[in-house]
Structure 1
Amino acid sequence: MDEATLTIADRIQAQLDKLTRAERQLADTILENYPASGLGPIAALAQDADVSTPTVARMVQKLGFKGYPDFQADLREELKAQLSGPIAKHDTWAEGAPEEHMLNRFTEAVIGNIRQSLGQIDTGDFDTACTQLADTTSRLHIVGGRITHTMAEYLFLHMQMIRGDVIHIQSTSNAWPHYLLDVKEGDTFVIFDVRRYESNTLKLAEMARSRGARIILFTDQWRSPIHSLADICFSSRIVVPSAWDSAATTLLLVETLIAAVQDLSWPDTRDRMQTLEDMFDQTKLFRKFT
C-alpha cells in the first residue's frame, strides 16, 4: 500500500497494535474529532489526551512524520480535501491528469480504493453488523443523505425482502423526527454519511443514540462526525478522477452485507421471497415468458 495515499487515520489504525497504552489514549483523542483535533499546538493536544508532549512527538514519528509540523501539514491537507466541493475537486484533479483513457484511469482508482478499504475492515465488526441486521427481535432503520439516500434505499429494498420491521428514513425530509417516536433500546440504525457531512444526519444519529439505538455507519476515509457515536464504522476510500466521489467501495460492502445477512436468515428469507413472488404474479408486475 502506497503510504502517500494513506490518511493519518489510516496510519493510526495500521499502527494500533504497536502503540503503547499512552499512545493509544492519544490516538483515541486524535480520532475523536479528526482531523481538527491535531491542528492546535502540540502541548494542547497532549493536554487533551492527558499524555506528555514527548508521547505526542514519539507517536507522530511512529506514523512516519519527521515531526509535529509535518503531521499538522498533512492534517490541514486532509481538512481541505474534506471541505472541497465538486468544482474544487475537479480542478485539483484536472491539473495533473494523465492522458490515459478515462475508463482505465477511473477503474484503476476504484480498484485501489477497494484494496485499501478492504484491507482495513475488521471482519469481526463486519460479522457483528450482519448479525445485528439479521436480528428480527429489534427494528432496523436505514438512513441516507442528499446523495447517499440512493445507497440507503438500495439496502432498504433488499433488507425489506430478507426480514420484517425495516424502516427507510430520509434525513433530508423535515418529517424524520417522527420516525424516532417509536425507537426502542436495541434498535439498529444503518447510517450513510460521506464528506460534506450533513447536519440533519448527525442530529438524527445523536437522537437515535440517546434513545438506546445501535449505530452502524458507512462513511469515507476521513470519517463522518457520526463515527464517535457509532458502534461499528465502515470507512471506504472514495477519491477518483472526477468532480464527484465514488460509491463503488461502499456499494461493494453493502452488497456483501446483504448476501451475508441473507445467508444468516435464509429459511425465513426464502419464505418471504416466495410470498413476494406470489404477489408479483397476482399483480402481473413483471412479464413472464412461459
Structure 2
Amino acid sequence: METKDTVSEALRNLIARNSTRLTRADERLLEVLTQDPVRAAIDNGAAVSSRAGVHPASAVRLARRLGFSGYPEFRTFIQSSLIAGGGDLDSPAARMAARLVKADDGGVLSSILDSEIAALEQVRQRVSGGDIRRFAECIRESRRVFVFGRGHFASLSALVTLRLNRSGYPCVDLGSHMHQLPEVLSQMTRKDTLWLFSFRRSVPVLNEIRAIAHSAKATTMAITDLKGVLISPPPDHHIAVSRGAVGESQSLVVPMTIANAIILDLASIDEGHSIRSLERFKAFRTQSGLSRSLT
C-alpha cells in the first residue's frame, strides 16, 4: 500500500505496529493518506474520510486506534513526520505543505517573516566580509561577467545582470540566451568571470557551462546552498549558505542579499567607476526618451 518514496519512516512504523488492529475502513483511510502525505498533512479528518469514501467519524476512530486522542493530534504527527523526515524536500508541493504546517492559523505572514529573519541572521554568521570582497574583486578585474541561474534563480540572474551593466561592468545573463549558448560562451576568455547561482540541485547545463569556463581559464564564482551542490570542477570562489530549514520560506532573500552586498562592495573599491556609470546611465535614459516610451 505505502512506498518508501511517499511515506515517512515514522508513519510506516506506526502503521506496521498497529496492522493487526486495522479495519477495512482504516485501510481505506490509510491508503488515501499514504498515497498523498502532503495533502494528508493539510486536510482535516472529514476531508480525508470523504476522499476515502467512509463515514466522517472513521478518521477519528483510526486516529484513536493508532494511539492518538483524536484526528487533530494524528494530523500533527503526520505534519511533524513530513517536516522531520524529508530533509530538503524535492517536491514543490511538499515544500509548500511543510511551510503551511509550520504556520499557525492566520499566521502565514508572521511565519514567513520569522523564517526570513532567521535565514538572514545565519548569513551574518556564515558569510564574511572577505567572502564578499573576493567576489567583488573578481568582477572589478573582469572584462565581462557571465551570470547563470535556472528556475527561481533566473530572476535573480537577470537582476544581477541589470545592476552590473548599469554600474559599468559588461554582463551577460546566460539564462536569456539558452538557444544561443554556444555562440555566447565561445566568446569567454581568461579575462572573464562566470557567476553561478544554484540551490537544491545543479542542472546538467550548469556543469557544462562550468566546464567551458574552466577550459577558457575564466574565473568561476558560485553561490549555493549548504549541502554543496555538485559543481565540477569546483568553483574558484564559493559562498555556501542556507535559505532556511525545511518548512521555512527558502525564498530569494538570502542569495539576493548576498548579491546586493557584493555589488555594493564593488562600488566601494572601484574608485567611483560604479557611481559614474550609474550617473551616465541616468542621464542617457533621460535624454534618450526611451523611459517615456517604455512606461
TM-score by length of 1: 0.64
8 A Cα contact 1:189 1:214, kept in partner: yes
Alignment of 1:87 with 2:93, yes or no, is yes
Which residue does 2:282 correspond to in 1? 277
Which residue does 1:235 correspond to in 2? 240
Which residue does 2:181 correspond to in 1? 176
Determine the C-alpha separation between the residues in 2 that align with 1:83 and 1:214: 32
Which residue does 2:104 correspond to in 1? 98
Determine the C-alpha separation between the residues in 1 that align with 2:234 and 2:181: 19
Which residue does 1:131 correspond to in 2? 137
Determine the C-alpha separation between the residues in 2 that align with 1:242 and 1:286: 42
8 A Cα contact 1:171 1:200, kept in partner: no
Distance 1:247-1:164 versus aligned 2 partners, 3 A rule: closer
How big is each residue's C-alpha offset from its partner over 1:15-72, in whole Å with a ceiling of 9 and x where there is no partner? Answer: xxxxxxxxxxxxxxxxxxxxxxxxxxxxxxxxxxxxxxxxxxxxxxxxxxxxxxxxxx
Distance 1:225-1:171 versus aligned 2 partners, 3 A rule: farther
Q: 2:93 is aligned with what amino acid? A: I
Determine the C-alpha separation between the residues in 2 that align with 1:172 and 1:222: 28
Aligned identity (percent) is 15
Determine the C-alpha separation between the residues in 1 that align with 2:147 and 2:246: 29
8 A Cα contact 2:146 2:194, kept in partner: yes
Aligned residues: 210
How big is each residue's C-alpha offset from its partner over 1:209-228, in whole Å with a ceiling of 9 and x where there is no partner? Answer: 22211111111222321275
Q: Report how far residue 246 of structure 1 moved.
A: 1.0
Alignment of 1:191 with 2:196, yes or no, is yes
Distance 1:93-1:275 versus aligned 2 partners, 3 A rule: closer
Q: 1:121 is aligned with what amino acid? A: V
Which residue does 1:212 correspond to in 2? 217
Q: Match of 1:175, SS?
A: helix
How big is each residue's C-alpha offset from its partner over 1:80-135, in whole Å with a ceiling of 9 and x where there is no partner? Answer: 53451211222334445434611211111111111112211133222111111112
Find 1:161's aligned residue among 151, 160, 166: 166
Which residue does 2:10 correspond to in 1? none
Q: 2:194 is aligned with what amino acid? A: F
Which residue does 1:111 correspond to in 2? 117
TM-score by length of 2: 0.63
Q: 1:235 is aligned with what amino acid? A: A
Find 1:144's aligned residue among 102, 127, 149: 149
Larger Cα-atom Rg: 2
Determine the C-alpha separation between the residues in 2 that align with 1:242 and 1:78: 9
Q: Report how far residue 158 of structure 1 moved.
A: 0.9
Distance 1:228-1:282 versus aligned 2 partners, 3 A rule: same
Determine the C-alpha separation between the residues in 2 that align with 1:227 and 1:108: 35
Distance 1:281-1:93 versus aligned 2 partners, 3 A rule: closer
Distance 1:97-1:166 versus aligned 2 partners, 3 A rule: closer
Q: CA RMSD in A?
A: 2.8
8 A Cα contact 1:216 1:233, kept in partner: yes
Which residue does 1:249 correspond to in 2? 254
8 A Cα contact 2:228 2:240, kept in partner: yes
Task: Show structure 1 runs of 5+ residues with no match.
Answer: 1-76
Q: Match of 1:212, SS?
A: coil
Find 1:261's aligned residue among 266, 271, 290: 266
Q: 1:113 is aligned with what amino acid? A: A
8 A Cα contact 2:98 2:247, kept in partner: no
Determine the C-alpha separation between the residues in 2 that align with 1:104 and 1:93: 12
Q: 1:273 is aligned with what amino acid? A: L
Q: Report how far residue 230 of structure 1 moved.
A: 0.9
Determine the C-alpha separation between the residues in 1 that align with 2:277 and 2:134: 23
